């Protein structure tokens, strides 16, 4: 019985890592096809993508959109969480439901709705419109994380600060935000990774300047190539780095 469990565990890890292994291994392929036999290791494809202007531009766009939409999502999410948790607003439950609602709808529908409205308004598509879409999908997560984190402990400290004469802005900036630093960072990192990786909204809402997933998508249309493996491996590396940073910055601090 015990043996079966370990075999199952091993098989599942094999399944989980099989595509990643194929991706990373053939990013070091020497030839022009990412298929066996392996004839590397060669860094030629990494050099190739680092010198590719379109890809590097898309990478910069993705970083900007991810950081900006992450910052806006956290700021808006924090405001909503603070407003709803600390003040007795009419229709609390409805407001919470409204803020969480985009989570229950698939990204495709969020993107499609925005696309229809933008076209009606005659507004052009750009990185801005993709960023707006990314805030729509990340705001509910930030709100949920921060709303859950608003506890009685901070409330007491806030009250003490107010009694000592601090205005609302100082209370929020000097008491609430520092006390909630860990969940705020967690919400920010989560938003950044989700936006960094998001495809369908960016695909529908950008035109000339595109984000990295959209650029990868158009590369994919022109064929299997070790270039794609190299890009994919780099993106994976960045995501893992962000996850590890979150683990170290946020979870360690909490422990």
Partner 1 sequence: MSGAGRGWGFAAPALIWTGAFFVVPFLVMGAMSLATLEGREVVWGISGENYADLWSRPYLRRAVLVSVEITLTVTAVSVLLAYPLAWIIAHRVPERWQRLALMLAILPFWTSYVVRSYAWLLVLGREEWINDALTGIGLIAEPLTLANTRFATVTGFVHFFTMLLTLTIYANLRQLSPNYARAAADLGANGFRTFAHVILPLTLPGIVTGAFLTFVLCIGDYVTPQILGGNTELTVPQVIMVQLGRRADFPLAAALAIVLMLLVSLAYLASARWLRLDRV
- What is the footprint of partner 1 within residues 199-218 (CB under 8 A)? 199-200, 204, 212-213, 216-217
Specify the DSSP class assigned to residue 222.
Answer: T
Sequence-separated (6 or more) residues with CB below 8 Å from residue 207: 124, 125, 126
Stretches 30-38, 42-50, 149-157, 179-187: which one binds partner 1 (CB under 8 A)?
30-38
| Residue 223 makes contact with partner 1 by CB under 8 A | yes
Between CA 137 and CA 127 the distance in angstroms is 16
Nearest approach, Cβ of 20 to partner 1 (angstroms)?
Answer: 5
Q: Which of residues 136-165 bind partner 1 (CB under 8 A)?
A: 136, 139, 143
Nearest approach, Cβ of 44 to partner 1 (angstroms)?
Answer: 16
Of residues 242 and 249, the one with the C-beta less far from partner 1: 242
Q: Which of residues 62-81 bind partner 1 (CB under 8 A)?
A: 75-77, 79-80
Stretches 12-20, 43-51, 53-61, 154-162: which one binds partner 1 (CB under 8 A)?
12-20
Between CA 210 and CA 68 the distance in angstroms is 15
| Of 47, 98, 173, 248, the one binding partner 1 by CB under 8 A | 98
Residues 142/77, Cβ–Cβ less than 8 Å: yes
| Residue 42 makes contact with partner 1 by CB under 8 A | no
Of residues 22 and 44, the one with the C-beta less far from partner 1: 22
Residue with tokens 């609302």: 168
Sequence-separated (6 or more) residues with CB below 8 Å from residue 57: 209
Burial class of residue 217 in the structure, from the number of CB atoms within 10 Å of its CB (0-12 exposed, 13-18 middle, 19+ buried): middle
| Residue 5 makes contact with partner 1 by CB under 8 A | yes
Query: Which token pair is 82?
Result: 């603070």
């Amino acid at each position: 019985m015990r043996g079966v469990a370990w075999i199952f565990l091993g098989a599942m890890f094999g399944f989980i890592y099989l595509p990643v292994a194929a991706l990373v291994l053939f990013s070091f392929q020497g030839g022009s096809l990412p298929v066996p036999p392996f004839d590397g290791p060669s860094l030629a494809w990494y050099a190739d993508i680092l010198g590719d202007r379109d890809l590097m531009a898309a990478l910069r766009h993705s970083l900007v959109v991810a950081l900006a939409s992450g910052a806006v999502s956290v700021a808006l999410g924090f405001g909503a969480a603070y407003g709803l948790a600390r003040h007795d607003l009419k229709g609390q439950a409805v407001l919470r439901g409204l803020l969480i609602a985009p989570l229950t709808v698939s990204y495709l529908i969020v993107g499609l709705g925005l696309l229809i409205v933008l076209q009606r308004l005659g507004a052009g598509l750009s990185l801005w419109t993709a960023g707006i879409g990314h805030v729509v999908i990340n705001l509910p997560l930030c709100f949920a994380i921060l709303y859950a984190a608003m506890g009685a402990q901070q409330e007491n400290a806030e009250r003490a600060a107010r009694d000592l004469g601090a205005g609302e802005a100082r209370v929020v900036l000097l008491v609430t935000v520092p006390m909630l630093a860990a969940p705020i960072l967690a919400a920010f990192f989560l938003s950044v990774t989700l936006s960094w990786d998001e495809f369908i909204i960016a695909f529908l809402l950008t035109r000339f300047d595109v984000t990295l997933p959209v650029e990868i998508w158009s590369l994919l249309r022109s064929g299997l190539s070790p270039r794609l493996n190299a890009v994919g491996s780099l993106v994976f590396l960045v995501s893992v780095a962000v996850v590890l940073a979150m683990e170290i910055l946020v979870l360690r601090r909490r422990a």
